[in-house]
Amino acid sequence: MTPLLRVRYLAEYAVLRLLWLLLALVPPARAYGLGAALGGLWYRFSRERRSVARGNILAAGIAASPAEAARIARASFRHFTGHLLENLRVPDVLGAANWPAHVVLEGPEEALALVRDTDRPILLATAHLGCWEVCGYWISLLRPLLAIARPMNNPYVQRFLRRRFRTDITLLPKNQAFSAETLRAWEQRRAALAIVMDQHAGRSGLWMEVLGRPASVHTSPARLHLMTGHPIVAGCLLREGPLRYRALAAPPIRVAPSGDREADTRAVLAQLNAFFEGAIRRCPEQYLWMHRRWRTPPAAQR
C-alpha cells in the first residue's frame, strides 16, 4: 500500500466513522427511512443508472408503462440504500434468541429444515432481491456461513464491518472461492455456502432466458451441486416493515448427474431462475434493477 493510498483509505474510514456516529443516534426502526431518502436523491441525480433501471423494468414486462417503470425504479433505489442503512442497525435488535420475532418463514418445510440443519453442508442461492445483507447476517445466527463476495478495497472499512457483525460469517474472495481448501472447509464445518447468482456472468456463464430476455447466468451453484451432491436451497429475505422480514425459500434442488454436464447444469439453473423470476415479480420494488444484467449475447449464442 502506497502512502497516498493509505491516506485515502484512512480518510474514507474517518468519513465512515463519522457517518456511523450520526447513524447511531437514529433509532434502528428509522434507519431504513433515512437511507430511502438518500436513495431518492440518488435516483434524481443518477441519470445513467436511472435509465438502466427503467429500461430493465420495461423490457422484463414488470411495468406496462414508462410512468409505472419510473415508479418501480425509484422505489428500487430507495430500497437499496434504505436496506443498507437498516442492515447496519440490525445487530442492535435481531439476535440468535429473538430472530423469530422479526423473521417469518415461508416455504417448504424440507427447505427450511435444511437451512437450520447444522449436520450437513448446503448451498444457498440468492439474488439482489429484498434484504440480501440482512439475510446473510440472519443465516449466520443459525449456522456457519461462507459467502462469496468481492472484498472491499479499503481494509479499514472491511475490518470495521467485520467487527460490527460478530457472527460466524467467512467472506470468500471470488478468485479463491472454489479452491480445494475452501471446499474442504465448507464440508468439514458443515456450513452453508451462499452464492449471489443474479449478476452478469460474462464469458464464463451460460446464456439463458431470464425474465424473458437472454442473460449470462453464473453456473457455480449448479456445478458445485452436481460435483458434491449437496442440496441447493434458493431463497431471499423480503422486507415487510421496519426490522420485519419474510424468508422465502424454494423446494430443495437435487439433480442426479446424467452424464451430460451442460444439460444437467441448465436443468439446475432453470429451476433457480424460475424461483427468482417469481420472487422478483412478487416484489419488484425490492430488486436491484439498476444493474446491467441483460446484455447482448455473443454471435454464437444468438
- pLDDT tens for each residue of 88-146: 899 999 999 999 999 999 999 999 999 999 999 999 999 999 999 999 999 999 999 98
Lowest mean pLDDT among 162-176, 192-206, 269-283, 284-298: 162-176
Assign 299 a pLDDT band (cuts: 50, 70, 90).
Answer: low
Asked if residues 223 and 265 have their Cβ atoms less than 8 Å apart, the reply is yes
pLDDT in tens, 38-85: 999 999 999 999 999 999 999 999 999 999 999 999 999 999 999 999
Q: Is residue 295 part of a domain?
A: no
Q: How many CB atoms lie within 10 A of CB 27?
A: 11
Residue 119, CA atoms < 13 Å, CB-side half-sphere: 1
Q: Range with the lowest mean pLDDT among 8-12, 27-31, 207-211, 218-222? A: 8-12
302 lies in some domain:
no
Residue with cell 417448504: 108
In the predicted model, is pLDDT for residue 272 greater than 80?
A: yes
- Flag whether pLDDT at 302 surpasses 60: no
Q: How would residue 148 be classed by pLDDT, with cut points 50, 70 and 90?
A: confident
In a domain, 161, yes or no: yes
What pLDDT, on a 0 to 100 scale, did the predictor assign at position 139?
A: 94
Mean pLDDT of the residues in the chain: 90
Inside any domain, residue 299: no
Residue 296 lies in a domain: no
Q: Is residue 31 part of a domain?
A: yes
Number of domains composing the chain: 1
- Asked if residue 292 belongs to a domain, the reply is no
**Average pLDDT of the segment spanning 241-258:** 95
Query: How much is the pLDDT for 5?
Result: 83
Is pTM beyond 0.95? Reply is no
Check residue 166 and give its pLDDT: 65
Residue range of the domain that includes 101: 3-286
pLDDT value at position 300?
Answer: 55
Query: Quick check: is 293 in a domain?
Result: no
